Amino acid sequence: DAKTTQPNSMESNEEEPVHLPCNHSTISGTDYIHWYRQLPSQGPEYVIHGLTSNVNNRMASLAIAEDRKSSTLILHRATLRDAAVYYCILRRGAGGTSYGKLTFGQGTILTVHP
Amino acid sequence: GAGVSQTPSNKVTEKGKYVELRCDPISGHTALYWYRQSLGQGPEFLIYFQGTGAADDSGLPNDRFFAVRPEGSVSTLKIQRTERGDSAMYLCASRQTGTDYNEQFFGPGTRLTVL
């Protein structure tokens, strides 16, 4: 599986935007970029995913570099409830026996200050 | 609607004992996954079910670990002769197949402690 690289930790202030980077230089053409987050004492939850184009949903935006070797998760206005570990994951596209399998790295610990 | 549930939420056992961890996926989700998460690490894939069959069990660490999903809904992860190194959070996730949209819904996990 292609690997991702994320900073170990980041800090933000409440109500400010947060840009969480992810490098995935060995991404293949069929790999989707997924972001999950894990709040303290909870299971991971889906945030957003994309393939080539930038994506927006109610939780966040995903900006994907033109060469797809990096991406950025954007939280437009951080709240205290956004404090979590954020995981950037490459998920192989359709086909094969491991369709949907997620390979988590260490993630980025986001601290949000009031 | 109801999400993924896991029972028990906490399990403490002694080294050498047998344990079973249960996962109730979201109704209608045919894909089910088990992950294990050690403290300070990201979740690690164990096994993937498509319906009743284990489509990928490459993440099971050894033959003490086994999982079943006999009717294609509830799944049980079974660990024989538990060891202290098995202590971790065990997470279950389910996913609706049939589309390319691949959101996995995770349960709250079972915290296993082997004394």
- A87 in contact with B at a CB cutoff of 8 Å? yes
If you average pLDDT over residues B67-90, what whole number do you get?
97
- Out of A43-57, A92-106, B85-99, which region has the weakest mean confidence (pLDDT)? A92-106
* pLDDT at residue B15, as a whole number: 98
Peptide linkage before B8 cis (omega within 30 of 0): yes
Q: What is the mean pLDDT of chain B?
A: 94
* pLDDT at residue B2, as a whole number: 85
In 3D space, the residue among B78, B80, B65 whose CA is nearest the CA of residue B21 turns out to be: B78
- Tell me the DSSP string of A43-111: --EEEEEESSS-EE-SS-EEEE-TTSSEEEEEESS--GGG-EEEEEEEEE-S-STTTT-------EEEE
Whether the per-residue pLDDT at A35 is higher than 80: the answer is yes
Are the C-beta atoms of A24 and A112 separated by less than 8 Å? no
Closest approach of A50 to chain B, Cα-based (Å): 10
Residue in chain A closest to B106 (alpha carbons) equals A43
Measured between beta carbons, the chain B residues lying within 8 angstroms of A45 are 106
Residue in chain B closest to A47 (alpha carbons) equals B103
* pLDDT at residue B96, as a whole number: 86
* pLDDT at residue A92, as a whole number: 79
- A53 in contact with B at a CB cutoff of 8 Å? no
- A52 in contact with B at a CB cutoff of 8 Å? no
| pLDDT band of A30, cuts 50, 70, 90 | confident
How far, in Å, CA of A15 to CA of A47, rounded? Answer: 19
| B52-63 tens-digit pLDDT | 999 899 999 999
If you average pLDDT over residues B2-19, what whole number do you get?
97
| B18-67 tens-digit pLDDT | 999 999 999 999 999 999 999 999 999 999 999 999 989 999 999 999 99
Q: Which SS3 state, helix, strand or coil, does residue B14 take?
A: coil
Residue in chain A closest to B35 (alpha carbons) equals A102
By 3-state DSSP, what share of chain B in percent is helix, strand and coil, each rounded to 5?
5, 50, 50
